[in-house]
Chains A and B, each alone.
Chain A
Amino acid sequence: MRVLLDVKNLSVTDLRDQDEIIHDVSFSVAENSCLGIVGESGSGKSMITRALLGITNPWLKSQGAAVFKSQDSERDLLQEDENTMRKIRGKQIAMILQDAMSAFDPIAKIGDQMAETFVENKNLTRKQSLTLAKEALGLMNIHDPEQVVKKYPHQLSGGMLQRCMIATALAMEPDLIIADEPTTALDSINQGQVVEEFKMIRQKMGTALIFISHDLGVVKHLSDRLLVMKDGAAVEYGDAGDIFRNPQHAYTKYLIDTRLELTESFKKAMRKGDHNG
């Protein structure tokens, strides 16, 4: 499979105190594949994607190479200027953030906000954009997009807003979607739905995905390859299935074990019920 994004020796330094936040990280994302990036808070997983998209604070310096190979061109994202990056962001690389509630303007209707993105970036008329917005919501298995489009952010649940954000990102038809902790703030039902949507995106649309989370359960469900981060460095990188079955690094083992503990009692409880019922 063709490689879409090739990151080599990415380092991010805080110029104020010369502290290396990200240290020499390399990975690649192939077309139509999903890379899961896992790690605890402070491991630098979000910082990587911000460095790639050029949206870090001014006192952070990025080094290394991040070659993005879209259909017509090959660019090093770290070397490009702001104007080019602005064109790439949202169109070729879309980002979905954790807190959907704050990503939307509280005083505008959802439909209008989604349409605004399309009008801006896809050169459609408002009417066409609104139709596209409704179609995109329909793709997300949201029943009644007509109604959702007319609502304000505070009238929708967190899970719903998250799916609207995903729909917006999808409608832009990007080559790569970066999802930063998209399910962390959601409850089980909404989490399940969002994960299903991502699966569908992978199958139907062939969009590549970088999925960042500290929840191994969700990551395992979606990822082909896995990058484990600790304190700014890559601790393990490779095929997701292999790593889960046979983790090489002690830290990866620790993450897997603690996650298993959490699920154990739930599974036991569900099984017990089956025996009785």
Chain B
Amino acid sequence: MAKLIEIKDLEKSYLKVGVNFGGSRAKILNGVNMTIEAGACVGLIGESGSGKSTLARLIMGLEKPNKGSILFEGLPANQWIKNNKGKMSVVFQDYTASVNPRYTAAEAIAEPLYASGAVKDLDRHIERLLAKVGLEQAVKNRYPHELSGGQLQRVCIARAIATNPRFIVLDEAISSLDVSVQSQILKLLHQLRVEMNITYLFVAHDLQAVSHLCNKILFLYQGKIVEELQSGELAMAKNQYARDLLASVIPFEV
């Protein structure tokens, strides 16, 4: 499979809280190396505070790394986004903060379409997107505060797939949803990926959800990728942290 994203020796640090002079920095990412193949679904597992959200933001071009490189088909992130408007997308964990509360669902979904210039037949396009994510048409004119968590996250997903992206970052996209809604959304995400041939980066701390959806799983610990497993090989983890993580999952059996 062709490489879509190649990350080499990535480092990112922030100034330590409460320190103004002396330049004491906290290294969040300390030499991350990873690749994401086109069409793959890659899971990134790590504890809260491990730097997975930082890594996601660097990949999306929202922040610049201190050292190392992130190349999209050979180009740096910002340039790739400019050349490929609308081909990268993101679904965040906090759906209530992911849409501007002053705009309706339809307006939120239309936004990336305006940006990439695909404004022909806008209304019908939005209707098709809503149907694709399993929402009724009435949701179109509702405001975010009038929608449930599951509905709002589906709107965010519809917005993310509106421009037929090639790559979507799912930053803890299901972590804030109820468990019963989580599996529905996971099914939807899987379906969309297969239908539209999208590459996913699924950042999460929930191993069960990640193994449900992804074919490759990366473990992020203390600023480095410590283990890389195909989803079928989970029991063959070598790294101690990865093994501890896998062993700690609480099984659910009836």
Contact = CB atoms under 8 A, between A and B. Distances in A.
Complex A–B touching at CB under 8 A: yes
A40 B212 contact: no
10 contacts: A158-B48, A159-B47, A159-B48, A187-B245, A255-B179, A258-B180, A260-B252, A270-B235, A272-B232, A272-B234
B231 to A, nearest CB: 5
Given A187-B205, A188-B206, A273-B233, A214 B212 contact: no
Contact of B248 (A191, A244, A256): A191
Interface in B160-185: 178-184
A267 B184 CA distance: 19
Contact of B249 (A158, A192, A254, A264): A192
Interface string A71-92: 0000000000000000000000
Given A187-B46, A189-B47, A272-B232, 9 more contacts: A41-B149, A157-B48, A191-B248, A215-B179, A263-B208, A264-B212, A266-B208, A273-B234, A276-B235
B47 A187 contact: yes
Interface of B: 17, 46-49, 149, 178-184, 186, 205-209, 211-212, 231-236, 244-246, 248-254
Nearest to A157: B49
Nearest to A187: B205
Q: Interface residue tally of chain A, by bracket?
A: 35 or more
Q: What DSSP secondary structure best describes chain B's contact surface?
A: helix
Given A217-B250, A217-B252, A277-B236, A266 B205 contact: no
A195 B234 CA distance: 23
B227 to A, nearest CB: 13
A188 B245 contact: yes
A263 B186 CA distance: 12
B221 to A, nearest CB: 10
A30 B248 CA distance: 30
